[in-house]
Amino acid sequence: ELLRELEEDMQRASQNLEFERAALLRDQIMEVKNGTGISKIEPKRKPVKYSRSGGGTPRRRGSRV
């Protein structure tokens, strides 16, 4: 059951071009098949994306540049 679920998730991730997630799932499948257990299962959520809006280092209050 778990193995089938992981394989389906891996296929979906690959089809959605989420190759890093697919690779993690592949590694988990290998661990299950080899009997070493699962190191960690990632929650089903979208990855967090960071952006740099507003420039570089924030200025301290009262400082002059």
The structural domains of the chain, with segments of one domain joined by +, span 2-34
Residue 1: per-residue pLDDT: 84
**Residue 35: what pLDDT?**
83
Spans in the chain with pLDDT lower than 50: none
Characterise 58 by phi-psi region: left (phi > 0), alpha (psi -120 to 50), beta (else): beta
Asked whether the beta carbons of 38 and 28 are under 8 A apart, the reply is yes
